[in-house]
Amino acid sequence: MLRYIFGKLLYLVPTFLGITIVAFGMIRLLPGDPVIMLAGERGVTPERHAELLAMLGMDKPIWEQYFIYVWNLLHGDFGISFSSKESVLTEFFARFPATLELGLCAMIIAVIVGIPVGVFAAIKRGSWFDQVSMTGALVGYSMPIFWWGLLLIMLFSVFLNLTPVSGRIDLLYFFDTPTGFMLIDSWLSGEKGAFASAVSHLILPSVVLSTIPLAVIARQTRSAMLEVLNEDYVRTARAKGLSPWRVIGLHTLRNALIPVVTTIGLQVSVIITGAVLTENIFSWPGIGKWMVDAVWRRDYFVIQGGLILICVNVMIVNLLVDVLYALINPRIRYS
């Protein structure tokens, strides 16, 4: 098992280097001059422009800038934001709990709804439930997040007035946020109504962000269940007189969950990608909104650092999924 994990860790090294090349190169393709954005369009003399370029380390050749940046990354230095003058790493971890809270809630919704829907669709193959649920999954997978989010805001926030439009909690509440997770901090604060306010603000963004992962998990669960239901050991279990629910829960679902676990891990990247749009639609102060604002400001170090840190998180989750997959199916690590 340790050899398997070590082999997976070795694969992360070239992946990380590839991510740094893409992040570093793509930022340089953005139009606009970061010095002009930093100093303003007026009053920037050529001497001042050159001085600011040197201060930012952008007066050197591109290849030299890249190697300096990677060297700094290896020492934990992701640079300083042009606009806030704060460390990129500090700003990232200040906003990461908001994105993590939103992503976890979205994934919980996707799992607790998607797996049962996929299981029942497989059991009732060809029924109206199977057709309706899989059609709904296809629509959910194809639906643009920004359109779906605005549609839910119009329905539940504007017309029905049931949920807030934006933010993480009402402005009426003031309390310390030691964990950064608004649900936990509002509960610990003891302020009346704070937790309910945090939950109400979280409902719509979580539902919007969970739509695509839910659709994928439901369809993957159905496909895996149909494949396992045709296996000989399932027919044997039925012939032995086991109850249908015991056959489904013990023999079918347990083996069908192997590819589903992998699918859930892969949906982490979908959650993070969708968070960029979702956070901007609902003014959610997380990583996605932070990076979009950085793009408008041409804040190179924030964009680069944010992309790399997000990719590192996805790599870690994929590594954990690979390890979990090997634990569930030992044949993986011996192949």
Write the pLDDT tens digit of every residue in 85-115. 888 899 999 899 999 999 999 999 999 999 9
Number of independent structural domains in the chain: 2
What pLDDT band is residue 116 in, cutting at 50, 70 and 90?
very high
Residue with tokens 């603000």, as numbered in its chain: 201
Kindly state the average pLDDT of the residues 151-180: 88
Same domain, 27 and 117: no
Report how far residue 96's alpha carbon sits from residue 84's, in angstroms, rounded to the nearest whole number: 17
The yes-or-no verdict on residue 43 having pLDDT over 60 is no
Domain end position, chosen among 74, 106, 128: 74
Residue 78 or 266, more confident:
78
230 has a pLDDT exceeding 80: no
Domain shared by 106 and 70, yes or no: no
Are residues 283 and 272 in contact, defined by beta-carbon separation less than 8 angstroms? no
* For residue 333, pLDDT beyond 70: no
The answer, yes or no, to whether residue 332 has pLDDT greater than 70, is no
Q: What average pLDDT does range 211-233 have in this prediction?
A: 86
C-alpha distances in Å from residue 114, one per residue of 37, 226, 254 = 45, 15, 16
Average pLDDT over residues 305-325: 82
| Residue 326 predicted with pLDDT over 90 | no
Do 102 and 39 belong to one domain? no
Q: Do residues 242 and 105 share a domain?
A: yes
335 pLDDT more than 60: no
Is residue 84 included in any domain, yes or no?
A: no
The answer to whether residues 44 and 172 belong to one domain is no
For 253, the domain range is 95-334
Length reported for the chain: 335
| pLDDT averaged over every residue in the chain | 83
- Based on the fold, state whether residues 264 and 204 are members of the same structural domain: yes
Question: Considering the domain boundaries, does residue 328 fall inside one?
Answer: yes
Residue 79 covered by a domain: no
Tell me what pLDDT residue 313 has.
83
Query: 66 and 102 share a domain?
Result: no
Q: How many helices and strands (H and E) does the chain possess? A: 15, 0
What's residue 323's pLDDT? 76
Cβ atoms within 10 A of the Cβ of 105, count? 19
Do residues 179 and 303 both lie within one domain? yes
Residue 306 CB partners (closer than 8 Å, separation 6+): 88, 92, 287, 290, 291, 294
Residue 19 has pLDDT above 60, yes or no: yes
Examine the pLDDT at 38 and tell me if it is beyond 80.
Answer: no
Does 266 map to a domain? yes
- Identify the weakest region by mean pLDDT among 52-56, 84-88, 98-102, 255-259: 52-56
Residues 112 and 6 in one domain: no
Which one, of 260, 249, 253, 255, lies nearest residue 213 by Cα? 260
pLDDT of residue 76: 84
86 assigned to some structural domain: no
Evaluate if residue 277 carries a pLDDT over 70: yes
Task: Say if 87 falls within a structural domain.
Answer: no
pLDDT tier at 81, thresholds 50, 70, 90 = confident
Q: Are 297 and 83 in contact (CB under 8 A)?
A: yes
The amino acid at residue 236 is: T
Residue ending a domain, among 74, 106, 123, is 74
Same domain, 31 and 99: no
> pLDDT tier at 310 (50, 70, 90 boundaries)?
confident
The confidence score (pLDDT) of residue 54 equals 76
pTM, 2 dp: 0.81
Neighbour tally for 166: CB within 10 Å: 15
The band of 251, judged by pLDDT with boundaries at 50, 70 and 90, is low
**Does one domain contain both 100 and 61?**
no
Question: Smallest Cα–Cα separation from 323: which of 271, 261, 256?
Answer: 261
Task: Look at residue 90 and tell me if it is in a domain.
Answer: no
d(Cα 105, Cα 303) in Å, to the nearest integer?
A: 25
Higher pLDDT, 25 or 127: 127
CA–CA gap between residue 289 and residue 277 (Å, rounded): 8
Band of residue 37 on the pLDDT scale cut at 50, 70, 90: low
Which of 12, 40, 74 is the last residue before a domain boundary? 74
Residues 203 and 159 in one domain: yes
Q: Is residue 88 part of a domain?
A: no
State the CATH number of the domain containing residue 240.
Answer: 1.10.3720.10
Residue 39 pLDDT > 70, yes or no? no
